[in-house]
Amino acid sequence: MTRAQRKRDHIKYALSTGQSRRTGFDDIEFVHQSLPDTSLAEVSIQTKIGGLSLSSPIFINAMTGGGGKDTERINGQLAVAAREAGVAMAVGSQMSALKNPEERQSFIIVRKLYKEGIIFANLGSEATVEQAEAAVHMIEADALQIHLNVIQELTMPEGDRSFKGALERIERIAERLPVPVFVKETGFGLGREAAEKLAKLPVAAMDVSGFGGTNFAAVENKRRANKLDYFSHWGIPTAAAIIECAAVDGGPDVIASGGLQHSLDAAKSLALGAAAAGMAGTFLKVLMDEGPEALRDELFAVHNDLKLIMCAVGARRVTDLRQAPLIIKGETFHRLHVRGYE
Ligand code: FNR
């Protein structure tokens, strides 16, 4: 199977596998405030992650690139929607384009169509410093995401089988790169143990990319005959992952992703301590099912709804959401208790 075919399969199966919604967000509830003392006009959704100022905490998370004309078209449409809504955008892994210059166009299109945008480059933790510099240079990126994907690799028959030295490579890249380095999971969730290791490095932000949304173990299991079903149910649900990462003393900024479907999920993420909220599968589905204008409208709607929710709970700024009283119920409450959180 060619790499382009695999990329197309990933998009197809990621959409058809869908999102299990086992993120834990349904266990989190804002406590209604009858006297919030806010007006919608003064609500601001600006935020900062890893030293970058963003006009919105919502962003389009890493998805695709390198799969030929199809991914070039999808990335172009994502970039135009991101530009029109003024949100940041990550590209998918650029490793294939570093190895095969013909694949660069599907990434470069993003910067070409979104010149003023905040754009994140993306590579796996196998990358060298030189590859990281080249990926950033390719799209004049404002930050680099380094993704961790142990479970997807193990579920792929042709996937990696050694994950040694990732932390050291991330450290070298973060020390040398002129732009902030974000470390992200890919749908299995960053937990306390990983976050504590990353907190010791000059990493600017960590994207929890938790369980409950797009599930690459389930996607890979669709592609293989002898299925590793146990990995389809593996991972730290997003709500718990945010809480674990945000609790790390002196840790990097926390970014929420993994199964976010709407502004209420984003608002809960920000209330749990995230500084930004990324969506991949949800936005891809809107784009593929309804087209680029629908994605732009969806981004506008998410912004409007987020402002309404912030107004309702008395939050003028994104960071004020952290003071909003929350109820944590069910499995998420249980998990946190077992893990020793109050
Ligand atoms: C992804 N994701 C991803 N992540 C990454 O760091 N590099 C990549 O190349 C890709 N590729 C990719 C392709 C497709 C089709 C999808 C849907 C997703 C993972 C993505 O950024 C995110 O971490 C997970 O999808 C979980 O978030 P959602 O989709 O539940 O919002």
Tens digit of pLDDT for each residue in 285-328?
A: 999 999 999 999 999 999 999 999 999 999 999 999 999 999 99
For 63, the 3-state DSSP assignment is coil
Shortest-distance Cα residue to atom 25 of ligand 1: 214
**Is it the case that residue 65 has pLDDT exceeding 90?**
no
Adjacent-strand bridge partners of 49: 52
CB 290 within 8 A of CB 75: no
What is the pLDDT averaged over residues 209-213? 98
Give the tokens for residue 13.
């199966």
Q: What is the pTM of this model?
A: 0.98
The HSE-up count of residue 241 (CA atoms within 13 Å, CB side) is 29
Could you tell me the distance, in angstroms and rounded to a whole number, from the CA of residue 85 to the centre of ligand 1?
Answer: 20
Q: How far is CA 210 from CA 122, 150, 276, 277, 289, in A?
A: 18, 13, 14, 12, 24
Q: Give residue 1's pLDDT band: very low, low, confident or very high (50, 70, 90).
A: low
User: pLDDT higher for 68 or 271?
Assistant: 271
- Beta strands (DSSP E) in the chain are 28-30, 47-49, 52-54, 58-60, 88-90, 119-124, 143-147, 181-184, 205-207, 253-256, 276-279, 326-328
Give pLDDT, residue 14. 84
Q: What's the CA-to-centroid distance between 37 and ligand 1, angstroms?
A: 38
Cα separation, 188 vs 126, in Å, equals 18
The C-alpha atoms of residue 124 and residue 95 are separated, in whole angstroms, by: 8
Q: What's at 195, amino acid-wise?
A: A
CA of 280 to the centre of ligand 1 (A): 6
Give distance in angstroms: CA of 214 to centre of ligand 1.
7
| Closest among 289, 312, 251, 262 to 58, alpha carbons compared | 262
Could you report the per-residue pLDDT of 122-162, keeping only the tens digit for each?
Answer: 999 999 999 999 999 999 999 999 999 999 999 999 999 99
What tokens does 161 get? 């089988």
pLDDT at 267 over 90: yes
For position 18, what pLDDT does the model report?
82
Q: Is it the case that residue 10 has pLDDT exceeding 90?
A: no
Residues with CB under 6 A from ligand 1: 10-11, 14, 19, 61-64, 92-93, 122, 145, 147, 184, 186-187, 209, 213-214, 257-260, 279-282, 284
Question: How far apart (Å, rounded) are the C-alpha atoms in residues 306 and 312?
Answer: 10
Ligand 1 center from residue 205 Cα (angstroms): 17
Q: Which atom of ligand 1 is nearest to the CA of 90?
A: 21
Q: Whose alpha carbon is nearest atom 8 of ligand 1?
A: 92
The whole-number average pLDDT for the span 59-71 is 89
